[in-house]
Amino acid sequence: MLLRCSVNRISTLRDFQCCLELKDLYLRKNCIRDLSELEYLQELPNLQVLWLSENPCAYLPNYRNTVLRYLPKLLKLDNIGKSCSHMYKICLSVHHYIVSSLEMCFCNILYCSS
């Protein structure tokens, strides 16, 4: 079952805990502040897709890792697959390394040319 509840000022996930057939839950642009609300979704056996982006909780540090720790059976979070999430982290690490290396090279060039 798919349930679209985006843009509804929802602040708790308590009411979803009995939706045992729920497979996809879209909750973008609501008022969910605390990631502990995910406890209410932990017993949903079929939940595979969850969208929480643009909720206050989505801006917390370690948001993605925390959600996936609460709900390890999820296949997608905010339209990004679990395996894609891992690749995304790798790309960020590589990007950071390249930028750092370029900055170091640039500093060396400036230092050597003066």
DSSP assignment of the chain: -EEE--SS----SGGGTT-TT--EEE--SS----GGGGGGGTT-TT--EEE-TTSGGGGSTTHHHHHHHH-TT-SEETTEEHHHHHHHHHHHHHHHHHHHHHHHHHHHHHHHH-
Structure-model confidence comparison of residues 104 and 48, the more confident one: 48
Q: pLDDT-derived band of residue 82, with 50, 70 and 90 as boundaries?
A: confident
Q: How far from each other are the two terminal CA atoms of the chain, in whole angstroms? A: 66
Q: Are residues 57 and 96 in the same domain?
A: no
CATH of the domain at 15: 3.80.10.10
Q: Are residues 93 and 72 in the same domain?
A: no
Structure-model confidence comparison of residues 11 and 100, the more confident one: 11
Q: Given a cut of 80, is residue 78 above it in pLDDT?
A: yes
- How far apart CA 114 and CA 111 sit, in angstroms, is 6
Q: Given a cut of 70, is residue 99 above it in pLDDT?
A: no
Q: Are residues 56 and 111 in the same domain?
A: no
> Quick one: what percent of the chain has pLDDT higher than 70?
72
Q: pLDDT-derived band of residue 27, with 50, 70 and 90 as boundaries?
A: very high
> Domain range spanning residue 97?
82-114
Q: Are residues 108 and 70 in the same domain?
A: no
Q: Are residues 62 and 17 in the same domain?
A: yes
Structure-model confidence comparison of residues 18 and 99, the more confident one: 18
| Domains of the chain: total | 2
